[in-house]
């Protein structure tokens, strides 16, 4: 159970409600503009999200388990590209110091940095992820996602109400949205926003950040019938959380300082960047299709559902 408000009263209420299952009947909210209702969605879900106390638990939610060898290769490559550097451990007797050298991102020193806005402060994450997607992982094909930072752009949606402008997102390299002209390619389909991310420079805005990412994830699920689950990322200052939202339940990772613990950041991002579409939550049995000869007046998307019965595969197309 996740306590989003983080008060003793809320914890007591949550404890009394969490006897059988972390789900309850919600009050319907407007579907005309879902992302304007994050506070209401947050209020209804605050006792329904499971908070994992350790990474052994939350690793089960990640797309796949990244090997230690691949993490070491990533550290070596990022160090060679001047994104990582070794630092002196303030506690030489610590367990981490005895096992591996302490490292930090050069753009995110552990003693902090002052920047004018979220876009400037977290822009180096894009460069770091660009290096990660060029790696070769054990048992994995090429990267399927790339980190994009376009905070002022509204994504293209198939349903009304998509006014969310996330700070960054992991975008599918191969779009799931068919395009019929050049204009349709200029705006990101929200269907290709695999992992939305929200950033805040101060931990004071933690609740606001979580409400915003919840609104974005909620709209992704409502807008796209292919989405079985959605991952998301929130960062306040250097404190990072990973989220898992599905149609059955939701979960949150342990919070960690990505500047102080680059290896955990690398593990998480590699798991997203090299995940298959199905591992990222896209249902492979549902496909989008345009009419045979689409035009501006006839460009309605159809969904094709594949179902299997005793006679084999059957396909159904929406009107």
Structure pTM? 0.81
For residue 254, the model assigns a pLDDT of 96
The model's pLDDT over 147-160, given as tens digits with 9 standing for 90+, comes to: 999 776 656 666 65
Torsion, CA 110, CA 168, CA 216, CA 57, rounded to 10? -50
Mind listing the pLDDT tens digit for each residue in 127-139? 999 999 999 999 9
Taking a C-beta distance cutoff of 8 angstroms, is the pair 150, 196 a contact?
no
What confidence tier does 290 reach under pLDDT thresholds 50, 70, 90?
confident
Phi, psi of 19 (to 5 degrees): -100, -35
Instruction: Answer whether 35's CB lies under 8 Å from 14's CB.
Output: no
Where helices occur in 123-194 by DSSP H, the ranges are 124-132
The sign of the dihedral angle between the CA atoms of 128, 70, 270, 135 is: positive
Return d(Cα 288, Cα 139) in angstroms, integer.
Answer: 28
Strand blocks (E) in the chain: 49-51, 84-86, 103-105, 145-148, 168-172, 193-200, 229-236, 239-246, 250-252, 256-257, 286-289, 302-309, 312-317
pLDDT digits (tens, 9 = 90+) for 154-192: 566 666 555 667 899 999 998 877 664 455 455 667 888
């Amino acid at each position: 159970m996740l306590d989003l408000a983080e008060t003793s009263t809320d914890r007591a209420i949550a404890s009394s409600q969490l006897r059988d299952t972390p789900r309850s009947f919600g009050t319907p909210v407007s579907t005309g503009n879902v992302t304007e209702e994050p506070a209401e969605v947050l209020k209804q879900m605050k006792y329904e999200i499971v908070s994992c106390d350790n990474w052994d638990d939350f690793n089960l939610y990640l797309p796949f388990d990244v090997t230690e060898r691949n993490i070491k290769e990533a550290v070596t490559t990022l160090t060679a590209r001047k994104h990582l550097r070794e630092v002196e451990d303030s506690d030489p007797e610590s367990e981490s110091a005895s096992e591996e050298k302490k490292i930090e991102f050069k753009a995110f020193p552990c003693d902090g940095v002052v920047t004018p806005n979220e876009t400037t402060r977290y822009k180096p994450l894009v460069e770091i992820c660009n290096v990660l997607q060029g790696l070769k992982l054990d048992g994995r094909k090429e990267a399927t996602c790339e980190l994009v930072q376009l905070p002022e752009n509204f994504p293209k949606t198939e349903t009304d109400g998509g006014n969310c402008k996330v700070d960054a997102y992991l975008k599918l390299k191969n779009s799931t949205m068919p395009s019929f002209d050049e204009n349709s390619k200029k705006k990101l389909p929200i269907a290709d926003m695999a992992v939305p991310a929200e950033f805040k420079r101060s931990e004071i805005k933690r609740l606001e950040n979580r409400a915003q990412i919840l609104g974005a994830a909620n709209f992704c699920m409502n807008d796209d019938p292919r989405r079985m689950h959605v991952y998301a990322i929130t960062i306040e200052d250097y404190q990072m959380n990973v989220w898992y939202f599905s149609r059955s339940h939701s979960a949150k990772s342990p919070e960690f300082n990505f500047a102080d613990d680059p290896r955990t950041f690398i593990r998480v991002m590699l798991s997203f960047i090299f995940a298959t579409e199905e591992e990222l939550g896209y249902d492979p049995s549902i496909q989008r299709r345009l009419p045979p000869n689409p035009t501006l007046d006839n460009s309605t998307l159809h969904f094709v559902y594949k179902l299997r019965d005793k006679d084999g595969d059957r396909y159904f197309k929406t009107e």
